[in-house]
Structure formats: structure tokens, C-alpha cells
Amino acid sequence: MDRDALEMRPDAAADWPDRIFDILKAHGITHVALVPDAGHARLIRRCLADPAMTVVTLTTEEEGVAMLVGSWLGGAKGVLLMQSSGVGNCINMLSLPVLHRAPLPMIVTMRGDFGEFNPAQIPMGNAVQPTLEAMGTLVRRADVPQDVPAVVDAVIRLAFNTYRPTAALLGQRLIGAKTFGKD
Amino acid sequence: MLDRRDVVRALLEDRGDLLVVAGLGASAWDITAAGDCPNNFPLWGGMGGAAVLGLGLALAQPQRRVLVITGDGEMLMGLGALCTIAVKKPANLSVVVLDNEHYSETGGQETATRHGVDLAAIARGAGIADSRVVHGAQELGPLRQAIHATTAPLFANVKVAPGNHPLVLPPREGAYLTARFREAVLGPAAHHQL
């Protein structure tokens, strides 16, 4: 079983991660909090390579929710990058941006969503949208590459124009399903 | 044994433009008892998030000093934050835990620190070199000075007496707390910038 089969990344020719990076820059986002996901690997590399971006790798995604409330208090605009499983780690901490009317855009790469191989990804993957919405988060999703820029742009605008947590779900169809070499 | 209100009053003396984040519960009441002001950000929820919220603020305002004051129970819920802070090494962030070894808001149940868990050792192990344990009033002056002079993150676990003080509640409206803090830090532009 090779590593590529274990860690599905977007096709090397797919440029939607670069479009997301361009949108972050266009919105003046300077603080990026993340727990790595293979689906975000290219975007994370772009952020790390940009000296104008402060990138914080978290031990758990809920730290990013609290951290970015602090960023906002200090006048900086941030974004939280994570995999769908990380959404479950954020639920109670989302009380803070809701209570404090803090903009909090999240970009979530989905697992357990479309052609999933790993049964452990299904429970949280299936619960991402309802749990986020139950915690007052506006959710939009993209399942084809051409929708990614508009959805990410909309979610960032909704967050900073209307002061609340928002999430762009990037469907697993964009990223590919892990097969563990079984295909 | 130190009294938590005395500790907070001593640490916030002549605070200048120090920005203060307080974890939910008794720590938020303590900073309010010492004097509510726009440079205070008392939390009402998000247990486990105080230290890393302070990190976000410290990274966004590197020229300002940021102090997080929280309880042992709150810190124990977000220990990973000590790793995250240690890796980023903000020069302007201090985290002070008021460690009474109990969950005082919920009936005084014992926390892990009551059973030997050493938060300062955990912070030091994470990579926060200046991680101290404070037992005596004579150590508060030097700690206060260090908070205003750090060149790397500082962590202090201050052992305080258990038990509850009278409630001194900060404003409860989260949007107000955010707006007054941002205006204090950023000026009137806080409400217009996008």
C-alpha cells in the first residue's frame, strides 16, 4: 500500500487551493490557525511560505476558535483550516464567537462524505453540517472545483460583514476518497 | 496561603495599557473586583480557551503586553494550548493560573492539581522556559515586573487558598465586551474597518 493511497490529496493539477490562498490575501487575512489535513496541504504550504502570514499549528481545532477570537480582539483577520473530524472538537468553543459577535471563517475539508473508505470518518463527517448549524454557524459547501472560489469568498464575507462563525465545506469529491490501495 | 483577590490586585497594580483576558468563573470575577475596564476581556464560557485566546491577541498586537489570568480547572481543560504557545514563542504573553486545586464554581470538587499534577512543569516541558510556581506574597512583585518585561512567554502557577469570594460580575453582553475592548485597542476605527 503506498502513501499516496493513504493520504489523498487534490490532484496536482487542481488549482483551487491556490485560488483559496488568493482569496485569503484579497481579504487581508493574515492569521491562519490550523490542524493539518491532506486536503489542505497545498494551501498550508502557500500560507507557510508567505512571510506576511502568521500560521499557528494547533494541538486541537477548538484552540483555533478561541485563538481567532483573540486575533479579532487585536484587530487581525484570521481563518481556521481543518478536516471535518476537527469540527467535532470545536462545538462548545463556538460559544465564544457567537456570544462575542466575532467573525470566524472556517474552511473544512470533508471526509466521510463521498466514497469514504474509512468507517471511522462517517459519524463525524455526516454530522458536520448539522452540528455547525446547531451552534449558530452559517454553512456553505462546494463539491466541484469551479465552485470553490465563490463559496470560500462568500463564507469569508459573511463572517466579516455579519460578525459570526461561518464555514465552507469542501466536499470529499473535490479531494478524492482514501482507498488504502483497495481500488 | 495566598488569597486570589490579593494576587490579582497585586499583579494588576499600575497595569498601564496591559491587556487582560480572564478565564470563566472566579478568575473573571477576580479581575472585575480589581477594577473593570475596557482593557479587560472576562470570559463567560469557552472553558479551556483562555490561554490560546490570549495567544491570538498577543500575535495580533505584538507591541502590547497580554496577561491571561485563569483557574487550574480551566487550564487543565486546554493543556495543549501550552504547547501551541511555546511553539509560537510570543514575547508579549504571560499566563497566570490561580491554582486553588478545586473547581470552586461547581461545589469545590478537587482538580488534578490537588493530586500532584504540576502545571508549571507541564508548561516547562512544553517549552515555556520561564515557568514558575508562586507560593508567597514576596514573589508577586517580581512576577508583576516580569509580566511587563518578558521577551518570551511566561507561565506562573500561583497557589491560592480554596473557597469562594463574593461575586463581582463583569458585563455579560458579549458583543459589548468585544466592542469596548476593540475600541480600546484599535480606536474608533475598530467599528469601521473591514
Is residue A165 exposed (0-12), middle (13-18) or buried (19+ Cβ within 10 Å)? Answer: buried
CA distance B192 to chain A (A): 11
Query: Choosing among B18, B43, B57, B181, which should be mutated to test the A contact, i.e. which has the most A CBs within 10 A?
Result: B57
In angstroms, what CA-CA distances link B189 with A26, A124, A158, B90, B184?
20, 40, 20, 25, 10
Q: Cα(A43)–Cα(A45) distance, rounded to whole angstroms? A: 5
For residue B32, is it within any domain? yes
Q: Tell me, what's the pLDDT at A176?
A: 72
Return the pLDDT at A122: 97
pLDDT band per the 50, 70, 90 thresholds, residue A14: confident
Partner residue facing A101 (CB), from B80, B175, B194: B175
Q: What is the extent of the structural domain holding A3?
A: 1-8+17-81+98-109+144-183
- Tally the domains of chain B: 1
Cβ-based burial of A117 (10 A; exposed 0-12, middle 13-18, buried ≥19):
middle
Mean pLDDT to the nearest integer, A26-45: 97
Asked if B84's CB is within 8 angstroms of A63's CB, the reply is yes
pLDDT at B67: 99
Instruction: Give the residue on B whose Cα is nearest the Cα of A100.
Output: B174
Does A88 reside within a domain? no
What mean pLDDT comes out for the span A86-90? Answer: 98
pLDDT grade for A1, boundaries at 50, 70 and 90:
low
State the CATH number of the domain containing residue B77: 3.40.50.970
β pairing state of A78-83 and A104-109:
parallel
Mean pLDDT, range A138-142, rounded to an integer: 98
The chain-wide mean pLDDT, for chain A, equals: 93
At B97, list the grid cell. Answer: 493560573
Decide: helix, strand or coil at residue B132.
strand
**Within-domain flag for A38:** yes
- Tell me the per-residue pLDDT of B142-166, one tens digit each, with 9 for 90 and over: 999 999 999 999 999 999 999 899 9
Domain-embedded: residue A156: yes
Q: Which of B52, B174, B194 sits opposite A67 (nearest CB)?
A: B52
- Judge whether A173 lies within some domain: yes
pLDDT of residue A175: 82
pLDDT above 80: residue A7:
no
pLDDT of residue A173: 93
Instruction: Kindly tell me if the per-residue pLDDT of A12 is higher than 70.
Output: no
Q: Find the domain containing B167 and state its range.
A: 4-185
Strand B40-42 versus strand B19-22 pairing type: parallel
Does residue A29 fall inside a structural domain? yes
pLDDT attached to residue A148? 98
Tell me the C-alpha distance between A182 and B19, whole Å: 54
Provide the shortest C-alpha distance from residue A56 to chain B (in Å): 7
Each residue's pLDDT tens digit, A67-85? 999 999 999 999 999 999 9
How far apart are the C-alpha atoms of B111 and B102, rounded to whole Å? 5
In a domain, A44, yes or no: yes
- C-alpha angle with apex A22: A18 to A23, nearest 5 degrees? 115
φ, ψ for residue B133, nearest 5 deg: -110, 130
In a domain, A163, yes or no: yes
Flag whether A91 is in a domain. no
Residue from A144, A173, A160, A175 nearest A23 by CA: A160
Strand boundaries in A44-125, DSSP class E: 54-57, 78-83, 104-109
Q: Which residues of B touch A73 (CB under 8 A)?
A: 41, 53, 56-57, 60, 178, 181-182, 185
What is the ipTM score, two decimals? 0.98
Q: What is the mean pLDDT of chain B?
A: 97
Q: Report the residue from B60, B174, B177 with minimal CB separation from A70.
A: B60
Report strand pairing: B19-22 vs B102-103. unpaired
B49 interface with A at CB cutoff 8 Å: yes
Q: Return all residues near B34 (Cβ < 8 A) that are at least 6 apart.
A: B5, B8, B9, B12
pLDDT at A183 over 50: no
Is the confidence at residue A4, as pLDDT, over 60? no
Instruction: State residue B193's pLDDT score.
Output: 67
Cell of A79: 481563518
Q: Would B41 be classed as within a structural domain?
A: yes
Task: Examine residue B192 and state whether it is found in any structural domain, yes or no.
Answer: no
Per-residue model confidence as pLDDT tens for chain B (194 residues): 999 999 999 999 999 999 999 999 999 999 999 999 999 999 999 999 999 999 999 999 999 999 999 999 999 999 999 999 999 999 999 999 999 999 999 999 999 999 999 999 999 999 999 999 999 999 999 999 999 999 999 999 999 999 899 999 999 999 999 999 999 999 999 998 65
* Inside any domain, residue B193: no
pLDDT higher than threshold 90 for residue A178:
no
| B93 in any annotated domain | yes
Which residues of B fall within a CB distance of 8 Å from A104? none
Domain count, chain A: 1
CATH number at residue A30: 3.40.50.970
Residue in chain B nearest A101 by alpha carbon: B175
